[in-house]
Amino acid sequence: MAFMNWSRHFVTGIEIVDREHRGLVDLINGVAPLLASSEPVSGEDVETLLDDLDTYAQTHFRDEERLMSEAGMDAYGIEQQVHAHRAFVDELASMRREVGANGELDGRLLLRFLANWLSFHMLADDQLMARKLVLIASGHTPAEAAKQVREAKEDSAQAVLADALIDLYGVVSARNRALLQSNEQLKSARNALAEVNSRLEQQIDERTRELSQSNAELLREQAELHQAMEAVERTQSQLLQSEKMAAVGQLAAGVAHEINNPIGFVSSNLGSLRAYVDRLLEVVDLAAPAVARLPADDPARLAVEEAWHAAEVDFMREDIPALIGESAEGLARVRKIVADLKDFSHVDEGVWQDADINGGLESTLNVIWNELKYKAQVVRDLGDLPAVRCIPAQLNQVFMNLLVNAGQAIESAGTITLRSGYEDRHVWVEIEDSGGGMPPEVQKRIFEPFFTTKPVGQGTGLGLPISWEIVQRHEGTISVDSEPGRGTCFRIRLPVAGAQPGTEAAP
């Protein structure tokens, strides 16, 4: 069913005008289903319809205004018709602005406008125009035609009704325009509010980002401060250890020097004593047969035998060599302690040279193999290393101390693993054992001079401090990773280029 039916009352008798009016009625009937929906019409569909209406208006209004101009119709009549045409064009422009602001349009509003305008325009404006054109064509002057049409309009009830409808259409159109203007103002207010909200959200986002950045910066500064504090603590610990080692080194150098002299003459005297005792025992052995040849009741024999038994010469003959031997062993141990003290106080610096660290590790292992072969299996995982500027003898002493400790940490049978590698212009060596490991409180003190967990008489507590001092002298690091029941791993890290110039004479 058509939305708008063609009526005989729409006919003007002017072919081109009626044809164009029919075209507009068909156009409205074609889009009526779309516009009559309660849902808003999309901007794309509305724009297409408005383009078609603009095309119609340009063609139809041009043709009507041409007909009036060619017929010489009165100026007032032409003005009224042109005013109606412009009102239609203005209404379409208003609709187009509404679509541009919202992206859609209430189709029912557009449909009512088209139906009302077309009905009133064809029943009133165009009918008056047609009657004037017919009168002019029949020989009347434009003034006469305008007068007759005006008089007929005033006497006609239909004309009165048409004027009333036109006035009503004017009111409705004005109300529609006011409504569209209010909608535009409301949309503008909404857009302004949305823009304010957007700016506010942007400001909130920016402030949030600033706060997040500030928090991140604060956390970063806190982390840097924590790292700096840890670095200070490490530096303080290293300085304390260095000062402790320097003080003990000076003490050790003095003690070694003071002990060396008595060790020298005690060793010399012990050697002389051994020789004297041997000679005395020879005299005793030579005198014993002569005493035995004396009569049993000879007073001299009796005196010698009594003195022999009182002095327990037979026991002394067996015990004196043992005592001298034990004294010699004790003296050798004292010499070893003094030698360790000398090493600890770095009296003998050695010669700096480019050395093969893996080779030094192997040669040191060969030296102490007899102490390890019965209780430990040695596993090698050695990498390709460049030559390292160092004092090989001192580093070999470090390796020896660590290997001996690794062997002593294994009670019956276990594994000692040797590893080495190269990274960042440094070589590293690891010596790991499968022994009992160390608790944290022991790990904290293992580099302290004279600290030892071995029984009295079995350790001086200087092996690891000496090793620490040697590694420091080479501008390297030595660290330990240990856990009770898991074993212990010492890691040494040394610069390939060796110590900086000037450190060889006074490390």
> Which of 121-125, 254-258, 384-388 comes out lowest in average pLDDT?
254-258
- Asked: is 8-155 a CATH 3.30.70.2740 domain? The reply is no
8-155 against 353-495: fold identical: no
Q: Which residue has the higher pLDDT, 451 or 375?
A: 375
What CATH number matches the domain at 353-495, 3.40.50.10860, 3.30.565.10, 3.30.497.10, 3.40.50.300? 3.30.565.10
- Whether residue 96 contacts residue 179, with contact meaning beta carbons closer than 8 Å, is answered with no
* Segment 172-196 mean pLDDT: 73
Q: Which residue would you say has higher pLDDT here, 53 or 343?
A: 53
Find residue 481's DSSP bridge partners.
489
Query: In the prediction, which pLDDT does 347 show?
Result: 40
Identify which has the larger pLDDT, 121 or 62: 62
Q: What is the pLDDT of residues 409-453, one digit of tens each?
A: 898 889 999 999 999 899 999 999 999 898 888 888 888 877 776
- Distance in angstroms (rounded) separating the CA atoms of residues 276 and 331: 19
* Average pLDDT estimate for 130-159: 77
Whether residue 120 has pLDDT greater than 80: no
Please say if the pLDDT value at position 160 is more than 90. no
Q: Is the pLDDT of residue 62 over 60?
A: yes
Proportion of the chain above pLDDT 70, given as a percent: 83
Q: Distance between CA 284 and CA 314 in Å, rounded?
A: 10
Q: What percent of the chain has pLDDT over 90?
A: 13
pLDDT in tens, 234-286: 666 555 555 555 555 566 667 777 777 788 888 888 888 888 888 887 888 78
Instruction: Locate the domains of the chain by residue range.
Output: 8-155, 245-344, 353-495
Stated pTM of the model: 0.38
Q: How many CA atoms lie within 13 A of 479 on its CB side?
A: 6
Q: Which helix (H) or strand (E) holds 418?
A: strand 414-423
pLDDT: which is higher, 176 or 205 = 205
Quick: pLDDT tens for 312-327. Answer: 888 888 888 888 888 8
| Cβ–Cβ under 8 Å, residues 7 and 80 | no
pLDDT average, residue stretch 354-370? 86
Whole-number pLDDT of residue 253? 66
Q: Name the 3-class secondary structure at 105.
A: strand
507: pLDDT strictly greater than 50: no
Contact 34, 41 (CB under 8 A): yes
Is pLDDT at 230 greater than 50 in this prediction? yes
Residues 6 or more apart whose CB falls under 8 angstroms from that of 289 comprise: none
Question: In which region does residue 13 sit, left (phi positive, over 0), alpha (psi from -120 to 50) or beta (all else)?
Answer: left
CA-to-CA distance for 452 and 401, rounded, in angstroms? 13
Question: What's the average model confidence in pLDDT over 199-226?
Answer: 88
